[in-house]
């Protein structure tokens, strides 16, 4: 194994342990974002470069701060150019986790976070020309208001997925995307296109195994329904 990777792994483990002790300090969560980051840099000793430490800290703060506090940390990092270019992505990744956490966050909270995420996506596009087509497609598919306004958010998801499909970065071997595409078209009532993506999904090797988060049962059920509908149409 590459010794540099081993050193990195040891440094990250140490940083994780040090951060747990850092957050355990009394009143540390009451600090403003600038003071919090300054305190982190002053008290945490690490062999990792400062930018890498700050990126790890930004991701880790989601375990200890509320959404408002998280936003203040990321706003400060961006304003002070204290990032490696992936700050917006880290920020939206945390926010998307909020949207899915229905057990710990109310609908009102998740709707508020979703509104913030839309603004963050727009800023990322303006500041770094990063559109993240696929990420935004998943965002709209998981939007907390999709249950109330399915057509609106499914069409937005479809639009961004179609942009993702047209890009060179889209990978038809990623069974997560294939399933999601099938679901979007199925829920829009476009069963012919849903069948296309479900069959591609069924043909792709599952490299995740038991660790995969996909709901295979729902996908397989919908695949059968799409095939049945297709047969019924052909038989008419």
Asked if pLDDT for residue 235 goes beyond 60, the answer is: no
Per-position DSSP letters for 18-86, written without gaps between them? HHHHHHTSTTGGGS-HHHHHHHHHHH---SS-HHHHHHHHHHHGGGTS-HHHHHHHHHHHHHTT-SSS-
Q: What is the mean pLDDT of residues 100-117?
A: 95
Give pLDDT tens digits for 3-48: 777 887 888 888 889 889 999 988 888 899 999 999 998 888 878 8
- CA 95 to CA 225: how far, in whole Å? 34
Q: What is the pLDDT of residue 230?
A: 82
Residue 150 has pLDDT above 60, yes or no: yes
Q: The whole model's pTM is what?
A: 0.85
**What is the predicted pLDDT for the residue at 99?**
93
**Average model confidence (pLDDT) for the chain?**
88
């Amino acid at each position: 194994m590459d010794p540099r990777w081993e050193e990195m792994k040891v440094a990250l483990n140490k940083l994780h342990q040090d951060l747990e002790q850092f957050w355990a300090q009394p009143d540390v969560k009451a600090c403003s974002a600038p003071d919090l980051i300054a305190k982190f840099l002053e008290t945490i000793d690490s062999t990792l470069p400062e930018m890498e430490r700050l990126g790890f800290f930004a991701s880790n703060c989601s375990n200890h701060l509320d959404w408002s506090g998280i936003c203040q940390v990321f706003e400060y990092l961006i304003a002070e150019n204290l990032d490696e270019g992936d700050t917006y992505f880290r920020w939206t990744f945390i926010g998307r986790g909020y949207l899915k956490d229905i057990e710990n966050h109310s609908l009102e909270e998740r709707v508020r976070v979703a509104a913030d995420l839309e603004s963050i996506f727009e800023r990322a596009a303006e500041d770094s020309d990063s559109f993240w087509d696929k990420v935004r497609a998943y965002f709209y598919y998981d939007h907390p208001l999709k249950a109330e306004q399915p057509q609106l958010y499914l069409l937005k998801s479809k639009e961004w997925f179609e942009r993702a499909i047209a890009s060179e970065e889209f990978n038809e071997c990623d069974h997560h995307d294939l399933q999601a595409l099938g679901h979007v078209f199925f829920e829009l009532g476009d069963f012919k296109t849903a069948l296309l993506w479900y069959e591609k999904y069924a043909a792709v090797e599952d490299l995740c195994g038991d660790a995969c988060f996909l709901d295979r049962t729902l996908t397989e059920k919908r695949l059968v329904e799409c095939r049945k509908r297709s047969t019924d149409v052909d038989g008419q």
